[in-house]
Amino acid sequence: MKIALGCDHGGYRLKEEIAAHLKDSGIEYSDFGTFSEDPVDYPDLALKIAEAVQKGDFDRGVLCCGTGIGVAITANKVPGIRAAQCHDTFSARASREHNDANILTMGGRVIGPGLARDIIDVWLESEFTGGRHARRVDKISSIEKKYSCCSRQ
């Protein structure tokens, strides 16, 4: 499994903790930055991660900002991306099993590194269960197609 990892300045410290955890766990990842706490605009980094996952260059993505909200909103603008903001392990598991989330977002100003590691582990170990959930994810995809720029012609 290949993970695309990124953050803004508000999520920098948490992203560094996650990177160390992924490395220690032997999980392949690429760090898209940012690489300091100098202010950057979260949409720029979230878009890079979302596009990398959408293209299939990475299996999943992890994004951090101050709250996890801004990067989730941004990533979810990219067709085929289902970014889920999770600050507990129950939501992390459900986001994979029920929603087939392909990007996890977390807030560096909301949760600590220990909980983030637990969330990452659960999220990476969980798989989409399909069944009735597949029908619902398909409906999300239909909404994306309906409102994409190319289908409004």
Which H or E element spans position 84? strand 83-85
Phi/psi-derived region of residue 79, left when phi > 0, alpha when psi is between -120 and 50, beta in every other case: beta
Q: What is the pLDDT of residues 61-113, one digit of tens each?
A: 999 999 999 999 999 999 999 999 999 999 999 999 999 999 999 999 999 99
Which H or E element spans position 43? helix 42-55
Q: What is the pLDDT of residues 42-67, one digit of tens each?
A: 999 999 999 999 999 999 999 999 99
CA dist., res. 63 & res. 5, Å (int): 6
> Distance from first CA to last CA of the chain, Å, rounded?
38
Instruction: Using pLDDT thresholds of 50, 70 and 90, give the confidence band for residue 128.
Output: very high
The residues carrying an active-site annotation are 65, 98
* Residue 149 pLDDT greater than 70, yes or no: no
CA dist., res. 101 & res. 33, Å (int): 21
Is 109 annotated as belonging to a binding site? Answer: yes
Is 9 annotated as belonging to a binding site? Answer: yes
Is 130 annotated as belonging to a binding site? Answer: no
Is 99 annotated as belonging to a binding site? Answer: yes
In the chain, the number of structural domains is 1
CA dist., res. 46 & res. 52, Å (int): 10
* CATH code of the domain covering residue 51: 3.40.1400.10
Domain that holds residue 10: 2-152
